[in-house]
Chain A
Amino acid sequence: MAVGENQQAGVRRGFATHLADGVRRFFHGDLWHSFTRSPVVMVSAVITVVFVASAIFAPLVAPYDPFDLASIDLLDSEIPPIWIEGGDPRFLLGTDDQGRGILSTMIYGARISLGVGFASVLFAMVLGVGLGLLSGYLGGTVDAIIMRIADVQLTFPAILIALLIDGLSRTVLPRDLHGEIWFYVLVLAIGLSFWVQYARTVRGSAMVERSKEYVQAAQVIGIPPLLIMLRHVLPNVMGPVLVIATINLAIAVITEATLSFLGVGVPPTSPSLGTLIRVGNDFLFSGSWWITIFPGAALAILVLAVNLLGDWLRDALNPKLR
């Protein structure tokens, strides 16, 4: 009993020092160094953090709640931004056709866009890494089947696969059910269209790791294959996966926006940035350009910032480029 407690304390102390070590190493490491050297990357990081933070704390940040029907007045519809004649100081970026403030709908829209984006990247990552590990570690028939499916899927562009899955689910599921579970359908559609990249990367590294001594040692002492994969191989193949995930976040956000723009993504009752752009597009010719241009700009800036971060991360983690 006492021994057990001692061991636990030891583990805890070990963990704390490990963490402190890790933090110290991070701030003295190459990654942090190259981060502080590049103003573009720092600006991108700030933009990304601002977007993510305002998405998480949307109810606190947004001037109005666009879903609160009591606060919406149809008389306020299509007011231009405040620096244009006819602007209203209550609405910094103007209002849409229903009298909702553009800034508020954008903040809530970014919340949904980023939510779908993060969730589908996570889903694609778990699926892809899992299948890649199985494929690379087990080899043989499992490997052949998984990689054949991956090959076939790579023949089609990701956006088309996402569109097909989302479109099919729309026809298969009853309409009101789809209205409730659209989030999961979208995450499934976008996630399924991106898993191949992870699987291929992880498979390659897992095949290399499989023949190393620490894996053989684990096999010899009788650890079951599943545990070896998760506890020993997985940590050693995760590096490139994180880079892919960053770049994929940008692609996932674009894919969601595109699907929503085509009218098959997020329903208009809880609009994402893409839905806002689609709705606003109808008002382009009546002169109310701000309804579509501001969400569009927000989307472009967000994607650009995440892309720049991903590019930097890829170069910074690539030992060949140092």
Chain B
Amino acid sequence: MIAFVVRRLLQSIGVMLAVGLIAFSLFNYVGDPINNMVGQDTTLEQRQELRERLGLDDPFFVQYGRFLVNAVQGDFGISYRHRRPVADLITERVPATLELSFIAAVLALFIGVPMGVYTGLHRRGALSQVFLSVSLVGVSLPTFLIGILLILVFGVMSQDINAAVGFYLVPQLPTFGRGDTVQLGWWSTGFLTKSGLLALILPSITLALFQMTLIMRLVRSEMLEVLRTDYIKFARARGLTNRAVNFGHALKNTLVPVITITGLQLGSIIAFSLITEQVFQWPGMGLLFIQAINEVDIPVMASYLMMIGFFFVFINLVVDLLYYVVDPRLRADKAVSGGHQ
């Protein structure tokens, strides 16, 4: 167990060092950092002095080490474009992305799992076929297209649709930004105002749809697999109720892969929020990053790279360790092979 944890930890640190190296090279070798900081009328002597003061003449690994130390302390330099510390920019933007991703994850889980269970239990049911067709469309439609369609229906055409059908069928929903937010310390939340909550609806559905279909298909195939096993047949032979068999035995045994995949998907929700943020102009980290790419704002790009890298490595580490804890077979295998050696 300890060997496993140590190996995974070392691997994670290795990945982070590699990501850091890319971010650092970006910082130092794309353009001249001095040119990016000073005005045109700075003399050569002043430039050289600044260069020495910032340590840009030091050997590569000294600079890289200093970059890492700064990054660990949350110091990512100053944005070329906003003229403010990148750490501040990111702190402002993090709550928007995390709130959106959280709601999307909750939606995906609480709709996707029941749909998966239903389609697994009623394989040939009409409703199952509907769910499966919808999920195929959900997989095929790119995220941004779903967002645009939702904006078209709930933002642009809702009044026309309501006028056409004669009653209030489609509500008018906000399609732009976060609405009003309340400041709790450094965290700005949209959960406490009506406009903030309304603004969350369309983006979170857009973000959740793909993950929802993914979770649904996963739960369905796991259910189908488990329902075929001997212990389910035995449970039925013992005369247990359908309810007990389906939920007590079958669903419970599908949950290990579901938890793992959902955990890993948390990372991709944050990655895909980048697209949703662009569609709905949601002021989160993704939007900041896209703007940084278009404006060649390298400190922001580098720190986003580091943050997202850290985030994914962390999630993967936690999921791997959880898997080890949750699934006894992994430990048993290890013990057996250890005994043979």
Contacts and interface: CB of A to CB of B under 8 A. Distances in A.
Interface of A: 152, 155-157, 159-160, 163-164, 167-168, 170-172, 250, 254, 257-258, 261-264, 277, 281, 284-285, 287, 289, 292-293, 296, 299-300, 303-304, 307-308
Interface residues of B, number: 40
Interface in B138-162: 139-145, 148-149, 151-152, 155-157
A170 B296 contact: yes
A284 B136 contact: no
25 contacts: A155-B313, A156-B312, A167-B293, A167-B301, A170-B296, A171-B30, A171-B298, A171-B301, A250-B140, A261-B275, A261-B278, A262-B274, A262-B275, A262-B278, A264-B290, A264-B293, A281-B148, A284-B148, A284-B152, A300-B140, A303-B140, A303-B141, A304-B137, A304-B140, A307-B139
B290 A262 contact: yes
Interface string B81-106: 00000000000000000000000000
By secondary structure, the B interface counts as helix
A243 B15 CA distance: 31
Given A159-B271, A263-B290, A293-B152, 11 more contacts: A155-B312, A155-B316, A163-B293, A167-B301, A261-B142, A263-B294, A292-B148, A299-B142, A300-B140, A300-B142, A307-B139
Contacts of A308: 136
A157 B148 contact: no
A156 B141 CA distance: 21
Contacts of A164: 305
Given A171-B296, A258-B275, A284-B151, A152 B15 contact: yes
Interface in B260-310: 267-268, 271-272, 274-275, 278-279, 290, 293-294, 296, 298, 301, 305, 308-309
A296 B151 CA distance: 14
Interface in B310-324: 312-313, 316
A262 B155 CA distance: 21
Nearest to B142: A254
